[in-house]
């Protein structure tokens, strides 16, 4: 590795730490330490095959917990690998296993030990076995750790170096400007050997924020980051990265130092692991979310957080106007960057990303409807002491059980429509396991944990799930088969390459239409979704944007004089070969 890399690291570190009381000599020492970490990684890690292309239309990611499916006393990672191998090896090529480390709360996002796999679920060998068959996405839970983490135990005992790993603040400090996704107190009291101290806790009192103003913390996480890559991770998801840098008197969101940390991690993978894809998880309004592309020097992928609430709104309202307008204004992708598209995940359906897109009345109407379908809403604290909605907690399948007029019999087609829209969008699609299995609201899990997010984090018994999937009359079997079919068709289309061009065509509020095309126009696909419960009959003569000689990839039928769409039907139209 050349000295150029060392100088690149040094430049990033200057922008992070020079204004925080560190001198040039300290920055030189830190850049040397990072350089040596990279050198050691390269010496100890077998080289990967050079990346011919970072991604393609073949890429589809499954999002799951290690223990989303369990079978008696079998280790969940063994069960997961069997399920993936038997049922999904021909449908997906990547799997995002949500935090699989020892944890104390939040289903893995309060990490006790970053260097170990939860022994109740399996081992690093099990993780590596899955990574040997599928591209693995792992979470770097970088903003906070568990109170049970040994780092925090040593902080309580005032033992170096961990007595500098966390953020202390006077409880009288004015933190009113801090933006955060929870309504619990930001500063939580802790009994330490030095008396009661108040530490920063953005997400919960069990999730204590780490102090990245201390370079030792940054170096620790670079070591962790590289260890995940060594164990086979190809995608690294930077969890809650937007909250990383804390500075009283600011909103503590998207601080310049945070962006520099992401750029530094990108520099590292570009140097020692160019096959790795860096993903930022930032559940914020669209413009803020897209800022993590930087100048093609930060994240390779950013989550399309606007997609889940806008797709749900379109299907719930029977009106695609807001979805179409948003998609029309998605900026052109920077070089070597793309979107990660999803409609559901382990979290709720965020409403912050549609600030300034959906009117408040529309958001509230959607929330009210989701309440009627068995869902909840999580609130966030505002600077003025008020609270506002942060996310809707509900499974996407049950969110599709009806419209604002109430429950109806279109739940399955409406839900499948949501998945087809997501699969056609520019970017890489990520399908949550509970979307694939049409999982209903798990209210029992909510009662057991006391957390509304548990409604969408069911743990399936494998025998029960297999019984449902093998019975063709169940919604689970119908959804599982149809979504797998859609994925299989999608993966064969060059026009669905993550960076293939996307054009939104808006003709009325009933339809969401996007045109995808390869750079050389060798394939063009018109993805058309009927977001209403009505049968739509559209004479081709009235659709001037459609050429003649089209066939539907989904039905294998030619389109003649009239385009007919059943309620919530999708058509993927392309020129007949």
- Residue 454 DSSP one-character state: G
**28 has catalytic annotation:** no
Q: Which tokens is 394 given?
A: 């509900």
Backbone φ/ψ region at 449: left (φ over 0), alpha (ψ -120 to 50), beta: alpha
**Rounded distance, CA 156 to CA 269, Å?**
34
Give the residue carrying structure tokens 């503590």.
Answer: 252
Beta pairing class for 536-539 and 562-565: antiparallel
CA 180, 182, 183, 187 torsion-angle sign:
negative
Q: What is the DSSP string of 348-409?
A: -EESGGGTTTS-HHHHHHHHHHHHHTT-EEEEEE-TTS-EEEEEEES-HHHHTSEETTEE-S
The residues that bridge with 339 in the sheet, in sequence order, are 302
Buried b (16+ CB within 10 A) or exposed e, 278-312: bbbbbbbbbebbbbbbbeeebbbbbbbbbbbbbbb
For residues 168 and 197, the answer to whether their CB atoms sit within 8 Å is yes
Helix (H, G, I), strand (E, B) or coil at 517: strand
C-alpha–C-alpha distance, residues 289 and 305, integer Å: 8
Considering the candidates 139, 209, 239, 267, report the single residue annotated as catalytic. 239
Contact between 363 and 351 under an 8 Å Cβ cutoff? The reply is yes
Q: Which residues are catalytic?
A: 239
């Amino acid at each position: 590795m050349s000295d150029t890399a060392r100088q690149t690291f040094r430049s990033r570190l200057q922008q992070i730490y020079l204004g925080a009381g560190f001198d040039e000599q300290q920055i030189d020492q830190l850049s040397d330490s990072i350089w040596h970490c990279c050198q050691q990684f390269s010496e100890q890690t077998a080289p990967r095959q050079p990346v011919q292309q970072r991604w393609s239309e073949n890429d589809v990611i499954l999002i799951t917990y290690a223990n989303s499916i369990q079978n008696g006393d079998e280790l969940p990672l063994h069960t997961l690998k069997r399920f993936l191998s038997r049922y999904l090896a021909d449908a997906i090529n990547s799997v995002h296993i949500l935090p699989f480390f020892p944890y104390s709360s939040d289903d893995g996002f309060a990490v006790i030990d970053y260097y170990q796999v939860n022994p109740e679920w399996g081992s690093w060998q099990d993780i590596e076995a899955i990574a040997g068959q599928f591209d693995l996405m792992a979470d770097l839970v970088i903003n906070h750790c568990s109170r049970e983490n040994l780092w925090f135990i040593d902080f309580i005992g005032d033992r170096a170096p961990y007595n500098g790993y966390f953020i202390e603040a006077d409880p009288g400090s004015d933190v009113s400007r801090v933006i955060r996704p929870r309504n619990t107190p930001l500063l939580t009291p802790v009994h330490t050997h030095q008396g009661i101290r108040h530490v920063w806790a953005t997400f919960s009192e069990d999730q204590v924020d780490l102090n990245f103003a201390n370079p030792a913390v940054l170096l620790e996480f670079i070591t962790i980051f590289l260890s995940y890559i060594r164990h086979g991770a190809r995608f690294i998801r930077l969890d809650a990265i937007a909250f990383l840098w804390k500075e009283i008197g600011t909103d503590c969101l998207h601080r310049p130092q945070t962006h520099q940390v992401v750029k530094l991690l990108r520099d590292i993978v570009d140097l020692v692991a160019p096959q790795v894809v860096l993903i930022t998880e930032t559940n914020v309004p669209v413009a803020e979310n897209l800022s993590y592309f930087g100048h093609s020097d930060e994240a390779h992928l950013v989550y399309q957080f606007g997609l889940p609430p806008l797709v749900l709104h379109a299907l719930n309202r029977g009106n695609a106007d807001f979805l179409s307008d948003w998609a029309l204004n998605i900026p052109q992708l920077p070089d070597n960057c793309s979107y990660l598209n999803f409609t559901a995940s382990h979290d709720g359906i965020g409403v912050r990303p549609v600030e300034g897109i959906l009117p408040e009345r529309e958001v509230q109407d959607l929330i009210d409807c989701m309440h009627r379908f068995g869902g909840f809403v999580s609130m966030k604290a505002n600077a003025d002491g008020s609270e506002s909605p942060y996310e809707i907690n509900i499974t996407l399948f049950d969110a599709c059980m009806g419209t604002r007029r109430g429950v109806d019999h279109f739940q399955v087609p409406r839900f499948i429509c949501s998945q087809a829209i997501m699969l056609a969008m520019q970017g890489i699609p990520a399908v949550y396991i509970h979307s694939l299995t049409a999982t209903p609201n798990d209210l029992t899990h909510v009662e057991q944990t006391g957390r509304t997010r548990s409604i969408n984090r069911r743990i399936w018994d494998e025998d029960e799930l297999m019984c449902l999937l093998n019975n063709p009359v169940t919604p689970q079997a119908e959804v599982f088969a149809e979504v797998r079919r859609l994925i299989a068709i999608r993966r064969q289309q060059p026009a669905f390459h993550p960076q293939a061009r996307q054009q939104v065509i808006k003709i009325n509020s009933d339809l969401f239409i996007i045109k995808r095309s390869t750079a050389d126009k060798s394939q063009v696909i018109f993805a058309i979704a009927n977001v209403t419960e009505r049968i739509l009959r559209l004479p081709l003569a009235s659709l001037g944007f459609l050429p003649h000689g089209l066939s539907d990839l989904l039905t294998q039928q030619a389109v003649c004089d009239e385009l007919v769409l059943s309620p919530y039907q999708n058509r993927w139209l392309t020129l007949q070969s």
